[in-house]
C-alpha cells in the first residue's frame, strides 16, 4: 500500500528502512527470554494487516510503508488531489504541542488548489504563543475559519495530552456523500515529531450513514468529546457531526483518560480501569492465562517517552493487574540509553522529547526491568532506527515454536504515569486521573476485519475497514488468510534486549 508523500532527501544518503512485520522480524535470544529462538521463517508466517502504522521519517525516501502528515489529507493514492472529487470540509486537530504555522502550511499544500475548508479547530494544552495566533486570511483564503481551544484541566498538575485528528471529506459531486477520517497517534503537531521521531498511528475511514447508528465506539467517543470540548464554540457542531457517520466497523476500542475524581460506575470509564473493563468483557485474561505454558511465555512490554513518579506497588497492583490476571507478570520496559540518544539523528537535542527525570528512571526496581529500544548495536543500524522513539506502547506477546505472537496492543498518548493512567485512592473507592489522554486497544481474538478498496481506477478512501461478513462482494479486500498473527509495525524488536551492565537510561538532567 503506497501511502505518503515523497520527501526530497537528495542531500541525504540512501537509507535502508528496518521493517518489523512478521515476514522479517529479527528474533534474538537473550536473558529476558529463556528460549532458543531462530529467525521467523517467511513461509511459516502470513500476518494479518492491521490499521496500525509508523510515520514516514524524513530520511526514508524510498519507504512506502510509513505515513507522512500530508497523507491524511489524500483520499487515495491513484488520484491527484486537484483531480479528486472529494474535498476536505472540516478538521479537528488535538495535540499537546502545536506548531500552528507548520500545520496550516502542510494542510494548504495537501488539499486541492480550489478547495475551500469551512473550519479548522485546534485543541491544545494551554500556550501563550498559540493564544496570540491570528490567521493571515489574505494568504489563506482556502480556509474560512481557524479557531483554538484550551480545555479546562479540572485537576492540578495535569496536562492536555491527546493526539488525534478528525477530518471530514465531502464529495463535491454529491454534497450529501461524505466520510470521516479518524487518526490517533503519539505525535504532536510539530514538524520534528512527524519527520524526525518514531511515532505510532492508527487510522480508519468511516462513511456517512442515513440515520444515527448507536454502537459502543461512537458512544464512548461522544462522551470523550463532551469532556474536552465543554465551553468550546464548536462543541455542538462536532458532537452533532460525528453522529452522522457509521462507526460499527471500528477496528479498535478507544481508551481515554479525562481529569477528575471518580466514584461508583464512573471509575471504569477511563484510564487503566477502562482497560480492565475491556479485558473482562472480552474474557481475554481467562483465555490467555488458562494454562501454565502461557503464563510462562506471555510477556508485557511497556515502551514510552516519559515516566512519572510511579511506585512498584502502583505498577504491579494497579496498572499490571488491569492488563493481566497473572500475579507479578513478566514486564519488559523499553527505553533509550544515553548512548542511543547521543547517536540519534537529532543527537542530544532529541532527548528533549524524552522528559524523564533521573530519580524516576534510575530506581533499582525499575532498572531491573529496562530493555533497549532496539536489539542491535547502535552503529550497525539504519537511520530509521536512530530516530528518537516518541511512541507509547503497551503490548502482550508470547514466544512459541520460534514465533513471536502479539496478543494485544495499546497505543496512543499515554505515558507510564499515574497522571495518565489513573490511581485508586481511599481504599479503592475513588479514582484520580490528572491528564487528558487518548489511545487504542486492539486484541488478536477480536480483530475480524479486512481493509476494503475498489478497483484502481476508482477513487475510494484508502483506510476503509469492514468486518469480513460486512464486506460487499463488489469490494476487493486485502484478506491474507485465517491465521491470527497480527502485523503490528513497531519501532523496536521483540523480544527486546536487556540493558547491559554499562547501559544507563537517558534522563533530562543531561540537557542542563
Q: Which residues are annotated as a binding site?
A: 163, 392
d(CA 392, CA 373) in angstroms, rounded, equals 12
- Residue of 161, 272, 414, 443 with catalytic role: 161
d(CA 261, CA 27) in angstroms, rounded, equals 43
Active site residue 457: no
Residue with cell 474536552: 228
Active site residue 222: no
In this structure, are residues 456 and 164 in contact, taking their beta carbons and an 8 Å threshold? no
DSSP states of 448-494: -EEEEE--TTS---TTEEEEGGG--TTSEE----S---EE---SS-S
Binding residues for substrate: 163, 392
**Residue 129, beta-bridge partner list:** none
User: Cell numbers at residue 267, please?
Assistant: 471509575
Q: At 274, which helix (H) or strand (E)? A: helix 271-281
**HEC letters along 136-164:** CHHHCCCEEEEEEECCCCCCCCCCECCCE
CA proximity to 201, closest of 67, 97, 106: 67
Contacts of 402 (CB under 8 A, 6+ apart): 27, 37, 38, 40
d(CA 71, CA 154) in angstroms, rounded, equals 35
Q: Which runs of E-coded beta strand occur in 208-358?
A: 253-257, 260-262, 298-303, 331-334
- Residue of 272, 390, 414, 443 with catalytic role: 390
- Report helix angle 235-242 to 216-229, nearest 10: 170
Active site residues: 161, 390
Amino acid at each position: 500500500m503506497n501511502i505518503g508523500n515523497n520527501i526530497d532527501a537528495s542531500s541525504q544518503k540512501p537509507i535502508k528502512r528496518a521493517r518489523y512485520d512478521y515476514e522479517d522480524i529479527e528474533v534474538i535470544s537473550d536473558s529476558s527470554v529463556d528460549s532458543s529462538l531462530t529467525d521467523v521463517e517467511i513461509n511459516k508466517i502470513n500476518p494479518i494487516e492491521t490499521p496500525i502504522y509508523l510515520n514516514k521519517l524524513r530520511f526514508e525516501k524510498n519507504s512506502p510503508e510509513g505515513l507522512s502528515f500530508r497523507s491524511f489529507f489524500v483520499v487515495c493514492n491513484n488520484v491527484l488531489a486537484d483531480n479528486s472529487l472529494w474535498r476536505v470540509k472540516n478538521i479537528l486537530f488535538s495535540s499537546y504541542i502545536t506548531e500552528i504555522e507548520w500545520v496550516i502550511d502542510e494542510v494548504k499544500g495537501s488539499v486541492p488548489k480550489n478547495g475551500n475548508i469551512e473550519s479548522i479547530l485546534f485543541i491544545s494544552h494551554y500556550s501563550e504563543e498559540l493564544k496570540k495566533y491570528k490567521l493571515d486570511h489574505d494568504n489563506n483564503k482556502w480556509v474560512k475559519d481557524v479557531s483554538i481551544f484550551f480545555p479546562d484541566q479540572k485537576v492540578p498538575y495535569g496536562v492536555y495530552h491527546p493526539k488525534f485528528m478528525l477530518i471530514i471529506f465531502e464529495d463535491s459531486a454529491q454534497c450529501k456523500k461524505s466520510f470521516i477520517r479518524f487518526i490517533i497517534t503519539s505525535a504532536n503537531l510539530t514538524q520534528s515529531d512527524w519527520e524526525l521521531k518514531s511515532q505510532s498511528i492508527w487510522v480508519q475511514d468511516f462513511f456517512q450513514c442515513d440515520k444515527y447508528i448507536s454502537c459502543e465506539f461512537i458512544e464512548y467517543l461522544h462522551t470523550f468529546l463532551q469532556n474536552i470540548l465543554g465551553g468550546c464554540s464548536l462543541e455542538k457542531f462536532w458532537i452533532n457531526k460525528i453522529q452522522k457517520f457509521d462507526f460499527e466497523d471500528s477496528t479498535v476500542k478507544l481508551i481515554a483518560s479525562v481529569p477528575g475524581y471518580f466514584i461508583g460506575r464512573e471509575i471504569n470509564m477511563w484510564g487503566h480501569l477502562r482497560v480492565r473493563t475491556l479485558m473482562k468483557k472480552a474474557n481475554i485474561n481467562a483465555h490467555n492465562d488458562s494454562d501454565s505454558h502461557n503464563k510462562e511465555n506471555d510477556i508485557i512490554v511497556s515502551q514510552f517517552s516519559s515516566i512519572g513518579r510511579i511506585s512498584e506497588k502502583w505498577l504491579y497492583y494497579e496498572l499490571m493487574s488491569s492488563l493481566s490476571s497473572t500475579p507479578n507478570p513478566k514486564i519488559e520496559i523499553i527505553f533509550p540509553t544515553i548512548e542511543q540518544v547521543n547517536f540519534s539523528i537529532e543527537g542530544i537535542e532529541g532527548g528533549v522529547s524524552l522528559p524523564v527525570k533521573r530519580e524516576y528512571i534510575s530506581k533499582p526496581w525499575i532498572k531491573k526491568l529496562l530493555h533497549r529500544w532496539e536489539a542491535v548495536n547502535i552503529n550497525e543500524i539504519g537511520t530509521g532506527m536512530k530516530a528518537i522513539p516518541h511512541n507509547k506502547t503497551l503490548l502482550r506477546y508470547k514466544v512459541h515454536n520460534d514465533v513471536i505472537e502479539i496478543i494485544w496492543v495499546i497505543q496512543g498518548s499515554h505515558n507510564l504515569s499515574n497522571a495518565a493512567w489513573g490511581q485508586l485512592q481511599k481504599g479503592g473507592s475513588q479514582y484520580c486521573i490528572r491528564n487528558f489522554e487518548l489511545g487504542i486497544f486492539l486484541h488478536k481474538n477480536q480483530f475480524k476485519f479486512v481493509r476494503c478498496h475498489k478497483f484502481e481506477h476508482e477513487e475510494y478512501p484508502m483506510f476503509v475497514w469492514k468486518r469480513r461478513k460486512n464486506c460487499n462482494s463488489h469490494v476487493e479486500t486485502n484478506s491474507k488468510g485465517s491465521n491470527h498473527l497480527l502485523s503490528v509495525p513497531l519501532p523496536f524488536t521483540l523480544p527486546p534486549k536487556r540493558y547491559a551492565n554499562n547501559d544507563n537510561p537517558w534522563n533530562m538532567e543531561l540537557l542542563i
